[in-house]
Amino acid sequence: MGLESVFAEFAPLLPPGTKLAGPDQADHSSAPPRITWEPVSAKHGLPKRIGGGPGRDGDLWERDVRLNVKIWGKTLAQTEELLGAFVNAAHYLLSQHSYALDGETWHTGGETASGVVCLLAFSLKVPIARTKKPTRPLEAVAVTAKLNDETV
């Protein structure tokens, strides 16, 4: 599960007309309402034992990814509405302990001449899943056996 697949689930839960984009899809020339997200840093915990082990499926590690989520509305009220919708989407889609709100910074200058921006520090726990080892197809098996001291 990657970040793009997680945030793709948010779009239907946001107010109609809200543009939601990650770092690869962000159109910085578009007007509000807009929510963009970008990863900033990540921490890793200890390796997982549950479900792990040779030949078994399961997560290997868990990344705690810190993201900047830029929430841009035309007015303060619209920005707060978008912020509330984003947090509600996170609460609805993610487990209680898989995300955290790490603070907000508000901006009113620069590109925000036509709106108000809330920069939300958001953390998301994302697993690094174990991948299956590739297998090679069995082409032939040579079988030898001895029967009454003869090799067959």
The length of the chain, given as a count of residues: 152
Phi, psi torsion values for 69, nearest 5 degrees = -110, 115
**112 part of a folded domain:** yes
- Asked if the structure places residue 66 within a domain, the reply is yes
127 pLDDT tier (thresholds 50, 70, 90): confident
Which pTM does this prediction carry?
A: 0.73
Of 129 and 112, the structure prediction assigns the larger pLDDT to 129
Range of the domain at 74: 3-44+60-131
Please check whether residue 26 lies inside any domain of the structure. Answer: yes
- Reported as a pLDDT band with limits 50, 70 and 90, residue 89 is very high
Residue 48 has pLDDT above 70, yes or no: no
Q: Does residue 110 fall inside a structural domain?
A: yes
CATH classification of the domain holding 114 = 3.30.2000.10
> Is 77 exposed, middle or buried, given 0-12, 13-18 or 19+ CB atoms closer than 10 A?
exposed
Answer whether residue 18 is part of any domain.
Answer: yes
Q: Is residue 36 part of a domain?
A: yes
Average pLDDT over residues 61-88: 92
Mean per-residue pLDDT for 40-60? Answer: 67
Provide the β-strand partners of residue 146. 151
Beta carbons of 7 and 39 less than 8 angstroms apart: no
H/E segment holding residue 39 = strand 34-44
Q: What is the DSSP letter of 3?
A: H
Q: Is the dihedral of CA 71, 74, 76, 77 positive or negative?
A: negative
Q: List the single range of 31-35, 41-45, 91-95, 141-145 with lowest mean pLDDT.
A: 141-145
Q: Look up residue 35 and give its two tokens.
A: 């929510």
Please report the pLDDT score of residue 111 as a whole number: 53
User: d(Cα 17, Cα 3) in Å, to the nearest integer?
Assistant: 22
Residue 12: inside a domain, yes or no?
Answer: yes
pLDDT at residue 66, as a whole number: 94
* Residue 52 within any structural domain of the chain: no
Counting the structural domains of the chain, the total is: 1
